[in-house]
Amino acid sequence: MSRNAKIAAGGVAAGILLWIWLPWWAALLIVLGVPAAAYLALDPAQRRRLRRVTRKEIGH
């Protein structure tokens, strides 16, 4: 199993646990809010680099 697959599996497991223990709106807020907060914590140069790498992986 690749590193990205392990991360994805862990994220799905955490999401399911949050969904069971918390109300649906709180789980949704956490699942969407944590990555958004992490992105906003980056400085502009890091955001540009992340966008460039993401586009490159997609094939643009």
Plot region of 46 (φ>0 → left; ψ -120 to 50 → alpha; else → beta):
alpha
Stated as kind and residue range, the H or E segment containing 30 is helix 24-41
Q: Are 47 and 36 in contact (CB under 8 A)?
A: no
Q: What is the pLDDT of residue 37?
A: 92
Give Cβ neighbours of residue 47 (< 8 Å, ≥ 6 apart).
Answer: 39
Q: pLDDT truncated to tens, each residue of the chain (60 aa)?
A: 788 889 889 888 988 888 888 888 887 888 788 889 999 999 999 999 988 887 766 665
Please report the pLDDT score of residue 59 as a whole number. Answer: 62
